[in-house]
């Protein structure tokens, strides 16, 4: 083979590869289907878009909804936004949107999208040699795209999982930032130093006031100051205190409390010997507290909100 023939063959091969790549880049995913738009198909076939659509309308019984459908305005705008963000996409697709938008564009008409079956049906109504050749290449492009998706399904699933996790993280972050803005954020861990009696007590008081259903305190050393703290809870919030030993002074204070507040009594009883640490449960939130609540701020102590189910703690009482 002469060099000239090789050059012609290479040029032809390069053109074919470029055309195939161009076809694949025009395949969109809309309504969970792989489709091509009428304008892109018309450009590939070498005809005007209106000519292609007129031919389809003359044979509309061959194009049910799973073969062809018309885009909504929102879908058009989404495609416009996507293609506008990619500077090297086909100009034909960037011309889809001509409806009044923020960018001053207008949509003249809502284009049609053809599924793989719809494109195959086009070969029956567009009988030119160019149309037949292009249709073969389009069918191959659809097959190649389908194989690519199947071969990378796990990758796409992982990406989707990561995106969902990112969305969840963003939502949590927005909630935290929102609470920080309105001053209702609750600390999940921290340290109070010796002498910070006021700050430590204010923190525990805020936790008690935040309870909506119940408060459970597990603390080996409880006195009447704990009962005073619990009076800060909302009227319909249940309160239970579990301690190592109920001394007479505590029992008397408990009796007086429940006589004064018979509608919202505090449950007081001893717990099993399983506990060494102190826990404060506010609804479903479990806090590990390093100091007895009656000694808040007298010496350095830490607290941590634990990401566990409260039943892990309450089952041991």
Q: What is the SS3 assignment for 116-146?
A: HHHHHHHHHHCCCHHHHHHHHHHHHHHHHHH
What is the pLDDT at residue 143? 76
Q: Report residue 99's pLDDT band, with 50, 70 and 90 as the boundaries.
A: very low
Q: How far apart are CA 42 and CA 114, in angstroms?
A: 12
What is the pLDDT of the chain when averaged over all its residues? 76
Q: How far apart are CA 281 and CA 306, in angstroms?
A: 10
Q: Report residue 80's pLDDT band, with 50, 70 and 90 as the boundaries.
A: low
Q: Are 88 and 21 in contact (CB under 8 A)?
A: no
Q: What are the residues whose beta carbons fall under 8 Å from the beta carbon of 76, sequence distance 6 or more?
A: 96, 97, 99, 107, 110, 111
Cβ-based neighbour number of residue 169 at 10 Å: 10
Cβ-based neighbour number of residue 187 at 10 Å: 12
Diameter over CA atoms, the chain? 111
Q: How far apart are CA 224 and CA 242, in angstroms?
A: 13
Q: Report residue 5's pLDDT band, with 50, 70 and 90 as the boundaries.
A: very low
Mean pLDDT of 290-299: 80
Run of H or E including 217? strand 214-218
**What percent of the chain has pLDDT above 90?**
6
pLDDT in tens, 17-46: 555 667 878 888 888 888 889 998 888 888
Q: How far apart are CA 73 and CA 71, in angstroms?
A: 7
Q: Could you tell me the pTM of the whole model?
A: 0.42
What is the pLDDT at residue 28? 86
Min mean pLDDT across 5-14, 77-86, 291-300 is at 5-14
What is the pLDDT at residue 193? 82
């Amino acid at each position: 083979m002469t060099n000239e023939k090789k050059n012609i063959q290479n040029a032809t091969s390069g053109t074919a590869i470029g055309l195939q790549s161009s076809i694949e880049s025009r395949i969109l995913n809309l309504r969970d289907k792989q489709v091509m738009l009428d304008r892109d198909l018309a450009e590939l076939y070498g005809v005007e878009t209106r000519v292609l659509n007129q031919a389809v309308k003359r044979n509309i019984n061959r194009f049910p909804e799973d073969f062809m459908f018309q885009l909504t305005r929102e879908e058009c705008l989404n495609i416009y936004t996507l293609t506008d963000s990619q500077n090297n996409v086909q100009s034909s697709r960037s011309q889809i949107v001509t409806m009044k938008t923020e960018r001053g564009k207008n949509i003249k008409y809502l284009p049609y999208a053809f599924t793989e079956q719809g494109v195959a049906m086009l070969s029956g109504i567009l009988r030119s040699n160019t149309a037949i050749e292009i249709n073969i290449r389009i069918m191959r492009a659809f097959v190649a795209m389908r194989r690519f998706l199947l071969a990378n399904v796990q990758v796409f699933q992982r990406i989707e999982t990561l995106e969902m996790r990112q969305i969840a993280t963003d939502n949590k972050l927005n909630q935290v930032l929102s609470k920080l803005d309105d001053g209702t954020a609750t600390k999940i861990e921290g340290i109070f130093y010796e002498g910070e009696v006021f700050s430590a007590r204010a923190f525990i008081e805020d936790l008690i006031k935040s309870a909506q259903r119940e408060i459970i305190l597990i603390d080996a050393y409880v006195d009447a100051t704990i009962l005073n703290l619990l009076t800060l809870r909302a009227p319909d919030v249940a309160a239970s205190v579990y301690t190592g030993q109920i001394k007479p002074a505590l029992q008397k204070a408990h009796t007086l409390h429940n006589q004064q507040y018979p509608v919202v009594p505090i449950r007081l009883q001893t717990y099993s010997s399983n506990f060494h640490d102190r826990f404060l449960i506010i609804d479903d939130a479990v806090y590990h507290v390093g100091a007895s609540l009656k000694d808040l701020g007298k010496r350095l102590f830490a607290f941590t909100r634990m990401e566990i189910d409260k039943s892990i703690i309450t089952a041991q009482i």
